[in-house]
Amino acid sequence: MRARLSQTLVHIAQADSKVLLLTGDHGYALFDEFRRECPAQYINAGVAEQNMVGVAAGLARTGFRPFVYGLSAFIPVRVLEQIKIDVAHDNLPVIFLGDGAGFVYSFLGTSHQSTEDIACARAIPNLSVYSPADRFEAAACMRIAYESRAPVYLRVGKSDRGDVHDAVPQEKIGRLLEAKSGNAAEIVFVATGSLVRTAMDIAARSYPDAVVWSAPFIKPIDCDQVASICKRHRVVVVLEEHSVFGGLGSVIAEIASEYAPARVLRIGVRDRFSHCCGSYEYLLREHGLDGAAIEQRVRAYLGAN
């Protein structure tokens, strides 16, 4: 998925000399191809993320199309005010690539883990929030972000969990994509990013008739489509590698409560920092976000509700 993001960025930059890639001294190896193919469009702004976002705003004002890359703990969270004031306030076409979202940096600890970025970003007017699940969604999200000529935060989480689609989906901004079909009325899964794969595995194992939706667009999201999904099912299970406060679970629950009351089970990070370090799988288990723990919660919830 990261390779596809990098390739897509190279293609976009080759076709448009106004595209610039700014990085806060991150992206080792990831941008080798970009630096080889488009060296004049690459700027390492140093370990100075706040300045980097202001510079991107100035560049956008002079006709450039900046992509600002960093770890999602820094882009957007550390520089939230610069994004709000310097970029979003004037709807400048700057795309923020926040890599390593969720628990990707499982061994490093809380500093590099990012489970509040969606909540922070989606409250900023004009700023869209995309969260792709596989290489197809990632490429489409990047292209749509570029074509939108508006500020976008593109969240890149655990990226090696395999494809959830068979081909490049015909994406439209805001649409949820069916990752697995089915006709169960009792339960439906809606997930984003890394946990789409998990939802598909759980469904295949225990709820073979359940539909699994992937939400590559957190904001804007197709409100009618979400309401219609909520209407058709008794329990909507939302999964994300992000806090249960302010992420996709909140988005779905907000829409459901206004337009289509349904039981919404929000599965995500429950208002806690990681205690220990370890492998990515270890950390998911620590947070109860591994497949077995999620399945158990879903079963218990269905039984109790």
Residues that bind other proteins (CB under 8 A): 45-46, 48, 50-64, 81-82, 85-86, 89-90
* Per-position DSSP letters for 122-139, written without gaps between them: HTSTT-EEE---SHHHHH
Q: Residue 57 CB, nearest distance to other proteins (Å)? A: 5
What distance in Å separates the CA atoms of residue 133 and residue 216, rounded to the nearest whole number?
7
DSSP line for 208-253: TT-EEEE-SEEES--HHHHHHHHHH-SEEEEEEEEESSSSHHHHHH
Q: Which is nearer to other proteins, 24 or 132 (CB)?
A: 24
Nearer to other proteins, 22 or 253 (CB): 22
Of the pair 79, 298, the CB lying nearest other proteins is at 79
State which residue, 35 or 78, has the beta carbon closest to other proteins: 78
Measure Cα distances from 67 to 51, 55, 142, 208 in Å.
14, 11, 10, 40
Residue 82 and residue 283: Cα distance in Å, rounded?
31
Helix runs in 38-116, H state only: 49-61, 80-82
CA distance 125 to 89: 7
DSSP 288: T
Query: What distance in Å separates the CA atoms of residue 166 and residue 179, rounded to the nearest whole number?
Result: 9
In this structure, what token pair is assigned to residue 166? 């068979």
* Cβ(263)–Cβ(303) below 8 Å: no
Q: State which residue, 78 or 285, has the beta carbon closest to other proteins.
A: 78
Q: Which two tokens stand for residue 70?
A: 């960093």
- Give the nearest distance from C-beta 100 to other proteins in angstroms: 22
- Of 70 and 174, which CB lies nearer to other proteins in the complex structure? 70
Nearer to other proteins, 36 or 61 (CB): 61
